[in-house]
Structure 1
């Protein structure tokens, strides 16, 4: 166990009968880091978060938060952790302020300052005296985030934090989490929205069927969105042979060929000339760029 880490999970496993929901999952999160668990629905993200928070007992493995091993009866660490798991919960007939007052009392906070501060930080001033049941999904999510942040946690765990937010709200949450990370708060979030995660997280772990299939810095994943030269010809075998003879290494994809060498990308006209000379004139030749979703689907494979 490393006491300097905000999250230290080792070989976390959860089985439900014959179903393995999370399989030997290991990862760490340092203070000030935003780590995103990325995966399709059913990949094991929420189960992992529930194990980290002690809501679900692991079948195997261990987890420590802020230097504290998570096990039944260990409660001291929760005063340093904020969390929002799945749908935000609130007392429907209490106002936003009253809901936060209740959380503040449970957290042992005194005075109005923590409540007014978190209402302002989450942009909830216009709704402070609205009953929770009247809030839109986006504002209910803001209230859930406010409850998670009211006690200024050192570790923030969020399951789909952008759920229900409009684009402006998503941008605000992105700014907020970035500010928290710069202040040394560790953030663990789960999402299936790759483009938003790539703009926010510093590290990403990709889950597929309960297993961690890739982990690394966000920049490493973005770098995999590589450009390539796509070539469509009538006789793919003859075109591939001509390209191989000229020193290229085409890869088959669909009905065409792909080239990713720097020379081919910089000189597509030479590739066209080469193919025409070989009697395989291209029907289509274009430089394409993978998007992040393509990179993600390449990692998780066919479903």
Structure 2
């Protein structure tokens, strides 16, 4: 088995709405695969098909090489998941909720409950009823339940939902540690800056179709770069660079160019401006982040 998750030409139609349209992707062991998309573009529908919660209209979904169906009971002991709103028994405490999951999953080691509480930073909330938890702590409880049986595959829909910045960092370190130990992670997220720090592979889904897919290491070569130049006389700078053959435009009080000669050799731009008597006060190569790249990708497609 070369992949933990294999999705082949999967579609899901609801009457006149094609929610997922012929999506194919694979997730390798130990990979952190992040699926990005706007609300209503097919992320959660695809995740629910991965978990067998809904049936695809067409195509096949395999987990650990087994087609997901009503008969694929054996694979779920190796899968942990958190989809949409974390579910819990509201009148039970955090500890009691985890104990219920331990028994349902027939985990013999009683210590896993305390270990999960500590791992997810829930120690001071262990004896509080689930209905009293904040959204962030309810999310932590959901993650603790998903991890209780040490799954080989973890499927998460918006795992950072409701967490404060410190909590987001904690979950990032947790997921990185799990992946380093061999757990495969498939997640969707709106926190794109966090995805850029976490994912090893990224897919962008839009209008139900997988529009782009790439290794996270490729992002630096995909994003746009530009040279932003500050000066006391921006118009003189723009004239000088235009005369030198650079394509430039004004952005507020700065002169900006995406000309690769300028981006690769800003020192040459600085020399030319000094020689022309309009030295720059600021010269910065700016790079798109994942959020900007994502929005540009879906906007171009939508247009």
Shorter-normalised TM-score: what interval? 0.7 to 0.9
Equivalent-residue separation in structure 1 for 2:156 and 2:11 (angstroms): 20
Equivalent-residue separation in structure 2 for 1:104 and 1:40 (angstroms): 35
TM-superposed CA distance for 1:26, in Å, is: 1.0
Residue of 63, 66, 70 corresponding to 2:64: 66
Give 1:123's aligned residue. Answer: 121
On the 8 A contact 2:266/2:283 being kept in 1, the answer is: no
Give 2:135's aligned residue. Answer: 137
Give 1:47's aligned residue. Answer: 45
2:259 corresponds to 1:259: yes
Give 2:269's aligned residue. Answer: 268
Equivalent-residue separation in structure 2 for 1:39 and 1:96 (angstroms): 32
Aligned residue runs from structure 1 range 9-158, under 5 A: 9-158=7-156
What TM-score comes out, normalization by structure 1 length?
0.86
Equivalent-residue separation in structure 2 for 1:191 and 1:131 (angstroms): 28
Aligned length: 292
Residue of 282, 285, 290 corresponding to 2:287: 290
TM-superposed CA distance for 1:131, in Å, is: 0.3
TM-superposed CA distance for 1:164, in Å, is: 0.5
On the 8 A contact 1:225/1:289 being kept in 2, the answer is: no
1:178-212 alpha-carbon deviations (Å, 9 max, x no partner): 11101111000101221100111111111122111
Give 1:172's aligned residue. Answer: 170
Root-mean-square deviation over aligned CA pairs: 2.7
**SS of residue in 2 equivalent to 1:268:** helix
Aligned residue runs from structure 1 range 165-244, under 5 A: 165-230=163-228, 242-244=243-245
Equivalent-residue separation in structure 2 for 1:263 and 1:122 (angstroms): 45
| Distance of aligned partners of 1:271 and 1:19 in 2 relative to their CA distance in 1, 3 Å threshold | farther
Task: Identify unmatched segments of 5+ residues in structure 1.
Answer: none
1:59-90 alpha-carbon deviations (Å, 9 max, x no partner): 11111111211112221111110000011000
On the 8 A contact 1:227/1:287 being kept in 2, the answer is: no
TM-superposed CA distance for 1:298, in Å, is: 2.1
What TM-score comes out, normalization by structure 2 length?
0.86
TM-superposed CA distance for 1:147, in Å, is: 0.6
TM-superposed CA distance for 1:266, in Å, is: 3.1
Task: Identify unmatched segments of 5+ residues in structure 2.
Answer: none
TM-superposed CA distance for 1:270, in Å, is: 4.8
On the 8 A contact 1:259/1:265 being kept in 2, the answer is: no
| Greater Cα shift, 283-292 or 209-218 | 283-292
| Distance of aligned partners of 1:93 and 1:6 in 2 relative to their CA distance in 1, 3 Å threshold | same
